[in-house]
Amino acid sequence: MLTLTRAELTKLFQRRGTYVSYGVMLALVLSIAIPIFCYRESVDRSIREESAHASGVPAGLEQALAGPFIPRLMMFLPLRVMVVNTLIGFFAALVGGGMLAGEYGSGTLRLLLTRPPARWQVVVSKTVVASFQAATVPVFFGLCAFAAGYAFFGRGPLLFLDAGSDMGSDAMMAPYFAEGVAVQRLCLAYGLMALGAAAIAAMGIFISSLTSHALTAAGLTFGVTLVSGVLGALGHAPEELTFLAFFRTIHPYLITTHINVYDAPLFTNVEWARMGTSVAWLLGYSVLFIIGAILVFSRRDIRC
Amino acid sequence: MTTDVAIECRGLVKHFGRHRAVDGLDMVVRLGQVFGFLGPNGAGKSTTIRLLLDLIRPDAGSASIFGRAVRTDRRTVLSRVGAMVERPDLYEHLSGRRNLEILARLSGPCGPRRIDEVLEMVGLTDRQRDRVSSYSHGMRQRLGLAQAMLPSPDLLILDEPANGLDPSGLIDVRNLLRRIASEQGVTVFLSSHLLSEVELVCSHVALISRGRCVVQGAVSDLLSTRDSTADIEVSDADLAARVAGELPFVTSAERRDAGLVVRCSDGRLADVNAALVTAGVRVQALVPRKTTLEERYMSAMSEADHADANAR
């Protein structure tokens, strides 16, 4: 099993395409950090004005703005919705979807399956490797954000401007953390992102076991993630809208509901119970996808 | 469990939708044989090979290798088998050597030395560090053979191993298969369209048509018939045809150009010669005809077609 996993790791990480996801993450971080660094005075002024207009300057804001500035980078975490739900989801779908279907399409699956390891071992090792690679993308994103934050702005306290709201008036109510706590919270957030990406990759493996084309599998996986996200958004609708009651009912069971739990550590009061529940759901989903993929793949005729 | 049977198929059936790709195939390959598996396109050769390697599941019947059922003892069976199925698809983004290193990990204990050996065997030592994407079709075919031989298998299953090889490559592969069969005692099961190659390499063959085994046996037995045929050049063809035609053991004597073609019971060509000389016919040349595998194949396929037509 370990040998099989090592072989899968070698195959995946010796493919140049695998590094595209990391390149995109690095480019994204730099494209945020560099403009903020160049226009930091105007950004500071804008935040102060917004905050004075809304609810007054929160305690610590001045220190956060004046001090070394991871916050200036992290303040743009509203982009994280795009990053996590779209980019990281896309890359996870791509790696998961391509794992079995990609090898089916290229014919190399025959090489694997005419060797002694059982099919379930092939599925499990591929899931482990795809989930690992998918999980490293948000981790890499986080590391780049930290590195860029330190490089451009130095060290300091952190203001989560987007926790619970965007960069508008309510944003100034956002929590403000000392550096040590902030780093811990961010590590937790990125860890949860990684778990979500791994669950999407596991879903990709399951869908990959049903098809013969890598792009079809990746597209379907990404499509399911997007649809789940849309259904989840509808589930957030006010209770007065009774015709949306169905979406509120299914909301707790959607995979994206639990993937989005990564923002929980960014609030002042962390909802540990919600986080625990979502982690359990994500692990449960992953296990179900692996079992499903094993059941389908073990019975499949390999005609490639 | 000791057995002298390497591969055994009993009543093997496989459908794809309404198409019956393999239709009650019975076949036995014994240890040490170099076994040719012949049939026209769509006859069920590749499907049979996939069934033997557990890539697809039979609808009925059974396949066993070294006395163990492929379905239930897959791991044990495949640990003794090296295979190349259809095209030699490999990991294009990796070098030839890296491909073998990855597959070696999955094939049991075979280290760098074994990789060197198989690369040497197929003549790819010089190009082992190049990416497979830069390989020609013939080189991929050689690498496909190398990966099949990697685990030092007791049984080598090869689907069209000569495809895409140039003449020297064909000779190399032919010699290689003969060598590993004779020196290492490896049983070789190969499907091929190249009948002349099969005739040169294989000790035994099975001909299949529409998923059924039509003929099976030793190549020497299939090629030796109850009749002998010879082209005879004579001074007087008319007289020779008359004399030969009157001999009881001659089945036919037809005039052709300056001579005749005589078919007689096996081993009686010398008697034909003697009769002609006694009758005053000068025999300038007597050339026995050898039945080729191609002729045997064509006649077996023709018989199978007639049998199918009659059954319908």
Chain A residues with beta carbon closer than 8 angstroms to that of B75:
116-118
Enumerate the residues of chain A whose CB falls inside 8 A of the CB of residue B52.
Answer: none
User: Which of the two residues, A301 and B312, has the higher pLDDT score?
Assistant: A301
Domain ranges of chain A: 2-298
**Chain A residues inside the 8 Å CB shell of B79:** 116
Best mutation target among B73, B91, B149 (most A Cβ atoms within 10 Å) is B91
**A177, A157 in Cβ contact below 8 A?**
yes
CB contact under 8 A, B50 and A302: yes
Q: Measured between CB atoms, which of A3, A108, A115 is closest to B91?
A: A108
- Per-residue pLDDT band for B95 (boundaries 50, 70, 90) equals very high
Which residue among B55, B79, B87 places its CB closest to the CB of A113?
Answer: B55
In A43-55, which positions are buried (b, 16+ CB within 10 angstroms) versus exposed (e)?
bbeebeebbeeee
pLDDT at B218: 87
Q: Find chain A residues with C-beta within 8 A of B78's C-beta.
A: 114-116
- Chain-chain contact of A301 with B57 (C-beta, under 8 angstroms): yes
Q: Which residue has the higher pLDDT, B194 or A290?
A: A290
Q: What's the longest Cα–Cα distance across chain B?
A: 75
Candidates B66, B74, B75, B89: best to mutate against A (most CBs of A within 10 A) is B89
Q: Which two tokens stand for residue A117?
A: 């390891």
pLDDT at A277: 94
Q: What is the pLDDT of residues B105-137, one digit of tens each?
A: 888 777 889 999 999 988 889 898 999 999 888
Each residue's pLDDT tens digit in chain A (304 positions)? 888 898 889 888 988 889 999 999 889 888 877 887 888 777 777 766 666 665 555 554 544 444 434 444 454 455 566 676 788 889 999 998 888 988 898 888 988 899 999 999 999 999 999 999 999 998 998 888 888 877 877 776 666 654 444 333 444 455 566 777 777 888 888 899 999 999 999 999 999 999 989 999 999 999 999 999 888 888 877 777 777 788 888 888 999 889 988 878 877 778 889 899 999 999 999 999 999 999 999 988 888 7
pLDDT tier at B98 (50, 70, 90 boundaries)?
A: very high
What is the 8-class DSSP label of residue B292? Answer: P
| Probe site for chain A from B46, B47, B55, B159 (most A CB atoms < 10 A) | B55
Instruction: Report the residue of B81, B84, B105, B131 to disrupt the A interface, i.e. the one with the largest count of A CBs within 10 Å.
Output: B105
pLDDT band for position B304 (50/70/90)? confident
Partners of B91 on chain A (C-beta within 8 Å) are 11, 108
- 0.90 surpassed by pTM: no
Find the CB nearest B56 among A6, A106, A303: A303
Residue B223 identity: L
Of B50, B86, B90, the CB nearest to A108: B90
Mutation target vs B (from A20, A104, A111; most B CBs, 10 A cutoff): A111
**Residue A295 pLDDT:** 95
- CA-nearest residue to A300 within chain B is B56
CB pairs A-B closer than 8 Å: 72
Which stretches of chain B sit within 8 Å of chain A by CB?
A: 16, 50, 53-57, 74-75, 78-79, 81, 83, 85-87, 89-94, 98, 101-103, 105-108, 147
**Is the pLDDT reported for residue B301 higher than 90?**
no
> ipTM for the complex?
0.76
Mean pLDDT confidence for B189-209: 86
Asked if residue B104 has pLDDT above 50, the reply is: yes
Gap from B213 CA to chain A (nearest CA, Å) = 22
pLDDT the model gives residue A187: 86
Q: Do A16 and B93 touch (CB under 8 A)?
A: yes
Q: Which residues, 6+ apart, have CB-to-CB distance to B237 below 8 Å?
A: B255, B258, B259, B260
Contact B86 A107 (CB under 8 A): yes
pLDDT for B115 equals 92
Considering only the beta carbons, identify the residue of B75, B86, B93 that sits closest to A15.
B93
Contacts of A16 in chain B (CB under 8 A): 93
Q: Which chain B residues are Cβ-neighbours of A113 within 8 angstroms?
A: 53-55
∠ CA A66-A189-A288 to the nearest 5 degrees?
A: 170
Q: How far A223 CA lies from chain B's nearest CA (Å)?
A: 28
Question: Using a CB-CB distance cutoff of 8 angstroms, which residues of chain A are in contact with residue B107?
Answer: 115-116
Q: Give B223's contacts (C-beta < 8 A, 6+ positions apart).
A: B199, B290, B291, B292, B293, B296
pLDDT per position as a tens digit, B226-283: 567 888 898 888 888 899 888 888 888 888 877 888 888 777 888 888 999 998 889 9
The pLDDT score that the predictor gives to residue B193 is 79
Q: At what angle do helices A20-38 and A89-106 cross, to 10 degrees?
A: 160
Q: Taking each helix axis from N to C terminus, what angle separates A179-208 and A89-106, rounded to the nearest 10 degrees?
A: 30
In the predicted model, is pLDDT for residue B102 greater than 60?
A: yes
Residue B197: predicted pLDDT: 82
One-character DSSP codes across B24-74: EEEEEEETT-EEEEE--TTSSHHHHHHHHTTSS--SEEEEEETTEETTTSH
To the nearest whole angstrom, how far is the Cα of B102 from the nearest Cα of chain A? Answer: 5
Per-residue pLDDT tens digits for B50-80: 999 999 999 999 999 999 999 889 998 999 9
